[in-house]
Amino acid sequence: MNNLEEVLYLNPLELSGPEQMGIDLFLLEKSLAENNFNMAVRFYTWDGDWLSIGKNQKELPKKWIELLKNEQLKIVRRPSGGNAVLHSRGLTYALIWKYPPRNKKESYLKTTQWLKDGIKKAGVDLFYGNQPVNISNSNCFSTSTLADLVDQDKNKHIGSAQYWRNGHLLQHGEILMEPSKQLWKKVFNADPPKIKNEIKDKDKVISFLKESLGKTWPNSQISTYTLDQKDKEIIKRFAKNKFKKINNY
């Protein structure tokens, strides 16, 4: 008898911000609607340079609006919290979990352990951040809380944020690889974290993380999920109505 719990896996897609957020929300809705849903995970990249802002970030700095107007940057609002994340030649992950621990600290420890272990297999030791949450700072990668993973030199490699609905969890995270130093400076007036060369190969990182996922949740079985036409129509509506690209402010 097979008691393994299915983990839906979507192959990587490179799409716009609203489309990517639409897929993540679609998977969360699937978690809420289907009794046999347990977990889904996906990795993806962005079509161009995007800034995703947390659901609670209300006032956008004027320089971001200027970059937007000058078409040097595109902006989308995430359903998850946290501060702004620049998606520039990195790898984004999304984890949707139907039965996460209700304690937020415990949930972060569990949902980042597989990332920590997978990156270690790639050759880099990462550690949990220990700084307090700083909502006044607009840059997600300028501080490191328990939700984040840093190297021994305090360079933040992975930043994560959560969105909860009826006890179901959608967790987003960005795995930095080769962010545009020039654009990072324009957006955040700072240099990006120094990222280890060992984790700049997307395919290799994805392979290690998928392996790590199976070890973190040993009763799980990863199965590839392909979006059908009905799924795509739902996602299209989400992208249009809930995650419109910010064209002006």
Q: Would you write out the chain's pLDDT as a tens digit for each of its 249 residues?
A: 357 889 999 999 999 999 999 999 999 999 999 999 999 999 999 999 999 998 888 888 899 999 999 989 999 999 998 889 999 999 999 999 999 988 888 888 889 899 999 999 999 999 887 754 444 445 555 556 667 888 888 888 899 999 999 999 999 999 999 988 999 999 998 888 888 888 889 999 999 999 999 999 999 999 999 999 999 999 999 998 877 656 544
Both tokens assigned to 107: 């949930």
- Range of the structural domain that residue 214 is part of: 5-130+144-243
Distance CA 42, CA 94 (A): 5
CA of 83: how far to CAs of 27, 59, 120, 159, in Å? 23, 12, 26, 10
Instruction: Specify the number of domains making up the chain.
Output: 1
pTM: 0.91
Q: Does residue 100 lie in a domain region? A: yes
What CATH number should be reported for the domain holding residue 187? Answer: 3.30.930.10
Q: Does residue 137 lie in a domain region? A: no
Q: Does residue 138 lie in a domain region? A: no
Q: Does residue 248 lie in a domain region? A: no
